[in-house]
Amino acid sequence: MLKHRIANTAGIVAATLLCWLYGLHLYHSANQPLYRSASQPLYSPPPQPAAHAPPSAPAPAPMRDSSDSILTFIHASDVHISKFVPKGGLVHFLHFMQTSVPLISPRALIVTGDLTDGKDKHRLISQQQPEEWLKYAEVLERHKLRARFNGTFYRDQRGNHDCFNVFSADSKENYFKQYSAARDSSGYLLQIQESFGLYSFVATDGCPAHGFARPLNFFGYLDAPSMQLLEQRMDAAKDSNHTFLLNHYPVSTMLYGRHSRPFKALVERASVFLCGHLHELVGGIGRQLQAYKASEGYWELEIGDMKEHAVYRVFAVDHDLVSFVDVRLPLSTIPLSNPALLDARVEEALPHPPVILVTNPKDARYLLPKHEPLERMRTSSFIRMLVWTDAPVSSITVAIDGHRLPHPAAYRGRERQVVEGRADETVKVPLWVVPWDPAQYDDARVHQLQVTVVDEMGKQSTSLTPFALGRDVSIPLNNDARGGWIMQQDFASMFRISGFISYIIMALCLLVIPRLYYAALPNYASWLSDRAVLHHKQQALTHHLFALLQRDANIFARSKLLLAILAAKARFVVWTQFTAQVHFSSSWLFWPSYLFAMSICVLPLFAGRLIPSAAGSDGIGSVYAYGIYMAGEWSPLLDSWTYALASIVSLAVLLVYLPAAIAPPHMFYSPRALTKRPWYRSVAIRVAMLVFIFVYLGIPVLMTLYTYGWESVVFGYGKAWLFIASSVALYMVDWRLPVSLSSYEVPAAST
C-alpha cells in the first residue's frame, strides 16, 4: 500500500513537471520571432535612402510676431469605410476632406490605420472588401492627396482591420499595397525639411505577420526584423528637431521585440507617439487616452476615431514647442444615416466654428522637457495663437486669469507655397499675436489663458490654456479615469504574469497539492471523519461567538468578538474548501480536471482555419496560450493570453465549486446547524454557475465555431472540450444527481 502511494505521488509530480517544462519550451519558441536574428526578415523592406545629415538650420528667431518657424500637421485615425454600415465612417471622412483639410491646410496629413472596416454583412466575420478599398482610393485621388507637395503631404498605414483575414503582406487580399498612399506595409519614414529645422515622422506597422480573422488580432507586435527597420529609421532621423513616432496600436497594446536596442532606448528620441485603435472605448473611460512616459520623455497621444466621433487633431510646432488641439466635425449638421453607403458624395463644405490653437504660452499639461526649448516662453514678446476660420474674423478676446489684456490681437499670418509653381498647394499659417510681458507670470503659479474668437457669420469658439512659466512648475493631467491608466499599462507583462500566477495557483492549490495530500493519507476515511468533527466544532464556536456579540454592549468587546468571528469564518472556509478538494481528489472528476489543467499548458486552446482566405492548409493555425502557430512559424500575439486566462479562470471556478458541490453537506455542518441546503447548493448559485460557464466558455466557442470552422471545436482542447466537459459535470453534479442531506453519517463525537 505504501509503495502504491509513493508511486502515485511520484507519477503526479513527474507528469506535472514534464508538462510544465514542455510549456516553457513552447513559451520560448512562441517568443523567438521577437528576438531572433534579423538577417532573414519576414519581408524584404524596400531600400531606404541613405541618411544624409540635414543642412544645419539656423537657430529659430526669438518668439516675436513672425509666422516663420511654424509647422502644422493633422493626425486622424480609424476611418472604417464600410459597404454595410450606413452611419459615420465614409461620410465623416468625406466631410473631413471637404471641410477640415481645406480649412486647416496643413503641411502634412497623417492617418494611423483602420482605413476600412473589413467585415461581412453581419459584422461578425472579418473579410476584406475590395469595394471599400476602391472607395478609399477614389477619395485620395479626388482630393489629390498622393500628389500634393510632391508626394510628401499624405501618409497612411495599416490598422488591425486592414489586415484582417490577410495571410501575408504579399497576399492578394492585402489591398493596402494596391490602394493606399504609402503602399508599403512595413511603415515609412517621412522627413520634412523646413528653413527652421528637420521634422521626421516614423511609422511602424504593428500588424502580425499573418493577419488573423477576428476576434483575434486585437493586439499588435513588432518582431526582430521590424525592430531592425525601426532602428534604421530612427537613426536616419537622429538629427531632427522633433521625431514623431506613429503606430496604429498604442504602446500598452503592443509587444516589442529587439534587434540590437530595445524599444525604450529607441523611443527616447521621439517627442510624441501618435496612435489610434482604441476609439474612445466605452462609458467615457477612453475620452482622454493620453500619457506622459517620464522615463523616456515622450507623450503618447491616442486620437479618437473618425468613424463615429469624427475627431481629428491639429498639431503645430512653433519654434519647436509642440502644441495640439482636438477638433470634431460639426456632427449636428451631418445626417445621422447614409443610405447611399459607398455611393455617398459630399460636394460642399460644412460651416465650421473657429479652430483655436495657442502655441505660446504652451499648455503646461503637455510639456516635453527633454525635447522642447521651454525657456523660449519666458523670453517671448507675444502671445501666439493660430486661428482657422471659414469666414473673416470679427473679434478676438484674450484674457489671463479673467483679466482682459489691453492690447488687441493682430494678424501676422500668411499662406506659403511648398512647391514653387503650384499656387493651389499652400500651407495656411493664420497667426494672431498679442503683446505681453511674461515676467509678470513667472511666479511659479498656474495661470489660465482664455481666447474667444467670433467670425463674421457669428460662429464662436473659446480656448482655455493653463500655463506656468516657473522652471519647476508642472500640471498633472489627472486623466486616469478617462484613459490615462490604460495608456500607462504594460498589458504584455500584465497578461503573462497574471496568466502564469493564476495557472500555478490553480494547478497546485486546487489539484496537485490536494491529490498529493490524499495519496499520503494512511487512512482516508478516518481523516475525513476527524475533519468533519473539527468542522462541526468550528461551526459551533462561530455560533457561540455570534451569541456573545449580540449580548455584549461594550464597543471594545464587540470589536474583538467581531474580529474573532471573521477569523473563525476564514478558518472554516479555508479548511472546508481544502477538505472538499481532498475529497474531490478521490472522485472520478479529478482526472479529467487534471488533464484539462495540463492541456492548457501543452496543447492548443483551439485550432482552426484562422485565416479563411488563405489557400489550402496555409490558413489553418493553432492558438496556444503563448501565441499562435501557423505555416511553420509563431506569432506571439497577446490575444492568445486573453483566451488562456479565460480558460484558466473558468477551470479554477469549476475546481472551487465542484468539490464543494459533490461533498455531502453533513461533512461541514452539524445536523443541528443544518436545517436547509447550504447557500452554495441553492438554485440561484447553480444557475449562476451555468451562466458563468456559458459566458466564459460557451460564447467564445460559438464565436470560434462561426469564425474558424468546425476544426475549432474538434481540436478545441482548452475551449470547446472544456466547455462540454464542464457542462456535463455541472449537469451530473448539480441537476441530475442532487446530494441528499442524509448521505453522510455524522460521527458521534461531533455532537
Q: DSSP 3-state assignment of 67?
A: coil
Reported as a single tens digit per residue, the pLDDT across 319-359 is 999 999 999 999 988 887 888 899 999 989 999 999 999 99
Closest CA to 628 of 133, 131, 29: 29
The single-letter DSSP state of residue 746 is P
Reported as a single tens digit per residue, the pLDDT across 20-74 is 999 999 999 999 999 965 444 444 444 444 344 444 444 556 788 899 899 999 9
Question: Given this model, what pLDDT does residue 36 score?
Answer: 66
Name residue 466's beta-bridge partners: 448
Reported as a single tens digit per residue, the pLDDT across 131-174 is 999 999 999 999 999 999 999 999 999 999 999 999 998 899 99
**Long-range CB pairs of 46-54, under 8 A, 24+ apart, other chains included:** 46/184, 46/186, 48/189, 48/232, 48/233, 48/236, 51/235, 51/236, 53/239, 54/191, 54/193, 54/198, 54/239, 54/240
Amino acid symbol at 425: E
Question: Given this model, what pLDDT does residue 661 score?
Answer: 78
Distance CA 145, CA 106 (A): 12
Reported as a single tens digit per residue, the pLDDT across 200-251 is 999 999 999 999 998 898 999 999 999 999 999 999 999 999 999 999 999 9
Q: CA triplet 432, 371, 243: central angle to 5 degrees?
A: 90
**Tally of CB atoms within 10 A around 59:** 11
Domains of the chain: 2-30+492-750 (no CATH), 353-472 (2.60.40.10)
Q: Which residues contact 701 (CB under 8 A, 6 or more apart)?
A: 712, 713, 716, 719, 720, 723
The three grid cell numbers given for residue 138, joined into one nine-digit string: 477614389
What confidence tier does 535 reach under pLDDT thresholds 50, 70, 90?
confident
Count the residues in the chain.
751
| Strand 298-302 versus strand 272-275 pairing type | parallel
Question: Given this model, what pLDDT does residue 540 score?
Answer: 77
Q: CA triplet 46, 49, 50: central angle to 5 degrees?
A: 130
What confidence tier does 480 reach under pLDDT thresholds 50, 70, 90?
confident
User: Is the whole model's pTM more than 0.85, yes or no?
Assistant: yes
Q: Contact at 8 Å (CB) between 597 and 507? A: yes
